Amino acid sequence: MSDFPLYALSEEHQAVRAAVRTVCDAKVAPNAASVDESGQFPQASYDALAAADFAAPHIPEEYGGAGADALATCIVIEEVARACASSSLIPSVNKLGTMPLLLAGSDDLRKRYLAPVAANSGMFSYCLSEPEAGSDAAAMKTRAVRDGDAYVLNGVKRWITNAGVSQYYTVFAVTDPERKQAGISAFVVEKDDAGVSFGAPEKKLGIKGSPTREVYLDDVRVPTDRMIGEENTGFATAMRTLDHTRVTIAAQAVGIAQGALDYALGYARERKQFGRPIADFQGLQFMLADMGMKVEAARQLTYAAAGRSERNDSDLTFFGAAAKCFASDTAMQVTTDAVQVLGGYGYTHDYPAERMMRDAKITQIYEGTNQVQRIVMARQLLQGVQSELRQTAPRRTAPP
Ligand SMILES: Cc1cc2nc3c(=O)[nH]c(=O)nc-3n(C[C@H](O)[C@H](O)[C@H](O)COP(=O)(O)OP(=O)(O)OC[C@H]3O[C@@H](n4cnc5c(N)ncnc54)[C@H](O)[C@@H]3O)c2cc1C
């Protein structure tokens, strides 16, 4: 028998969890209610995460980063989300914005743009969605037209997380309108580039501390050496990015759900009705049991997907979609049940359960709605992409 902990986290991964939880308990959780109330970017969380190398932990060591693998990055995001969902958008969107560079960028481009993120002198946002191009992202209208040694970008990007706060933006734009998704390219745009501006922050249901704004591109000249990968390969890069980062949204959802479960358990032990703690009532125990069961199932699927992300396995597309969909549906159920466990108190701003319920909702929507995840999963299944484990099983065929 090997010494490897069978189907368990390594000591290193457990140590990452302990370290990030310490930072979050002390410096992130205390701000969660106030950033939700004020809608301000959680600068104190950013400062604390940056100081401990948790703001963009996935950046490889060769670019000055901490070099966290995909599973360790998920654990960081999960623990931050358990404390404050808005703050968890800091490590997760830094990964989303930089993943196109990691997947397709030249070494020179990576050196120029990953090093400042690793050094915490700027964050990265990801600009795919537009007012008329959400689930159908390939319907984007933002144009990039070659002009000498630059591309000139014009258009509007919508729903961009951390826009205005981030220094760097991965922008997807049409370079060949005849070819639809095969005519889209990816660029690095800087906040200070002439012609870049931002809309007012959206007024949202949840993750209120994470600014979401439109990004306006008005004759923005981007040097050709800031194109990520080859011309017209941007859409493939955008989709491959989401395969990896949907796993991080799953981790965020697991963290939000765990935070709600932890709070509900503590409350159920303390709150007395009929002369006994409400935790004594079997009706409530069954609800708590279901919550715990679902959170653990979501966590296991998320970590299995994280392993596939790290190895870049061929079935990552299925696993990323499945983990994101299952974990976000779980987060919505578990946070709603947490409000129920708290009764009337759960419905007020004086307790965190309703905030967690509002925060959970976005995980079912962004990086592709859960309807889109089911489309992605079905397509993968019908194409015969199966998990590596099941590849050894006898192949099923349709009945005659
Ligand atoms: C807070 C927030 C932050 C975000 N951050 C970013 C970001 O940083 N970068 C970025 O690029 N984008 C971001 N987004 C955009 C997000 O990814 C989109 O909102 C999402 O993909 C859905 O697009 P849509 O809003 O246009 O909805 P639509 O595409 O209009 O969908 C509306 C409804 O129709 C359903 N639907 C659509 N097509 C189908 C279909 N074929 N089959 C079945 N049902 C379908 C959807 O599931 C949904 O229920 C963010 C959004 C929000 C709200």
Provide the 3-class DSSP secondary structure of residue 220.
strand
Q: Are 123 and 168 contacting, i.e. CB atoms less than 8 angstroms apart?
A: yes
> Tell me, what's the pLDDT at 3?
66
Q: Are 245 and 323 contacting, i.e. CB atoms less than 8 angstroms apart?
A: no
Ligand 1 pocket at CB < 6 A: 125-129, 134-135, 159-161, 204, 212, 362, 365-369, 371-372, 375
Task: Measure 366 CA to ligand 1 centroid, in angstroms.
Answer: 6
Counting from 1 in the atom list of ligand 1, the atom nearest the Cα of 372 is 47
Low-confidence ranges of the chain (pLDDT < 70): 1-4, 386-400
d(CA 327, CA 303): 11
Residue of 194, 247, 236 lying closest to 219 (CA atoms):
194
Enter the tokens of residue 250: 């799953």
Give the residue ranges of DSSP H helices in 58-199. 70-83, 85-104, 107-118
Annotated catalytic sites, by residue?
Answer: 367
pLDDT in tens, 154-165: 999 999 999 999
Half-sphere exposure at residue 290, Cβ-oriented, CA atoms within 13 angstroms? 14
Task: Measure 212 CA to ligand 1 centroid, in angstroms.
Answer: 13
> Tell me, what's the pLDDT at 394?
44
Enter the tokens of residue 195: 């012609």
Q: Are 268 and 288 contacting, i.e. CB atoms less than 8 angstroms apart?
A: yes
pLDDT in tens, 69-97: 999 999 999 999 999 999 999 999 999 99
Give the residue ranges of DSSP H helices in the chain. 11-23, 32-38, 43-51, 70-83, 85-104, 107-118, 234-270, 282-311, 316-341, 343-346, 353-362, 370-382
Task: Measure 286 CA to ligand 1 centroid, in angstroms.
Answer: 34
Q: What is the pTM of this model?
A: 0.96
* Torsions phi, psi for 214 (to 5 deg): -80, 150
Counting from 1 in the atom list of ligand 1, the atom nearest the Cα of 157 is 11
Task: Measure 238 CA to ligand 1 centroid, in angstroms.
Answer: 15
> Residue of the nearest CA to atom 2 in ligand 1?
159
> Residue of the nearest CA to atom 26 in ligand 1?
134
Residue tagged 């919508």 (tokens): 158
> Tell me, what's the pLDDT at 398?
52
> Tell me, what's the pLDDT at 385?
84
Beta bridge partners of 174: 143, 184
Q: Is the dihedral of CA 253, 258, 261, 266 positive or negative?
A: negative
Torsion, Cα 319 322 327 333, to 10 degrees, reads: -170
The full DSSP string for 88-121 is: HHHHHHHHHHHHHHHHH--HHHHHHHHHHHHTTS
> Tell me, what's the pLDDT at 390?
56
Counting from 1 in the atom list of ligand 1, the atom nearest the Cα of 371 is 47
